[in-house]
Amino acid sequence: MALADSFDSSPAYAFKVTIDGIEIPKVTEVSGLKNEVDKIELKQQLADGKYVARQLIGRAKTGEFTVTRGLTDSKTISDWLKVVMNGDVAGARKNASVELLDYEGGTLKKYEFRNCWVRSVEINSLKAGATEQATEKFTVCFDESEVT
């Protein structure tokens, strides 16, 4: 199978993050986009006495990704964490997606995540006299993922 020959690559700055269909504003970084399967190692002794080790494809793994966005007065993400901490499993589960966009804003690739919940919310270091933007970083765990 040959790889497709594309003329343009996706610019790293062109992406959008949505959770339950609502676009998250002021996103500055997304990291940890990864799809993975387990590897099963099969070791066996053949009839002629030869030892053979093989790698088999296992089940799809769960995972997580991290989103960094500019800090606002919105409490949406911290309220989501509160729902998780209160043990409301049904209320905590959401669907999310990260779309990589081309230069014209069209979708090149879309990572879709199901049964997501927020694991942590963190504010960057606050320094007196600093000139950098205050940010909120949150980590989202997922059960299933798909790339379209």
Q: What is the pLDDT, as a whole number, of residue 64?
A: 97
Q: What are the tens digits of pLDDT across the range 66-112?
A: 999 999 999 999 999 999 999 999 999 999 999 999 888 889 899 99
CA distance 65 to 19: 13
What is the model's pTM?
A: 0.84
Q: Is the pLDDT of residue 6 over 70?
A: no
DSSP secondary structure letter of residue 15: E
- Hey, what domains does the chain have and what are their CATH numbers? 15-147 (2.30.110.20)
Amino acid identity at 134: A
pLDDT band at 11 (very low <50, low <70, confident <90, very high): confident
- What's the pLDDT score for residue 9? 67
Task: Report the pLDDT value the prediction gives residue 58, as an integer from 0 to 100.
Answer: 96
Whether the per-residue pLDDT at 13 is higher than 90: the answer is: no
Task: Write down the pLDDT at residue 7.
Answer: 60
> Residue 115's pLDDT is what?
97
pLDDT confidence of residue 105: 86
DSSP per-residue letters across 77-138: HHHHHHHHHTT-HHHH-EEEEEEEE-TTS-EEEEEEEEEEEEEEEEEPPP-TT--SPPEEEE
User: Taking the CB of residue 78, how many other CB atoms lie within 10 A of it?
Assistant: 13
The distance in angstroms from the start CA to the end CA of the chain is 18
Q: Which tens digit of pLDDT belongs to each residue from 25-67? A: 999 999 999 999 999 999 999 999 999 999 999 999 999 999 9
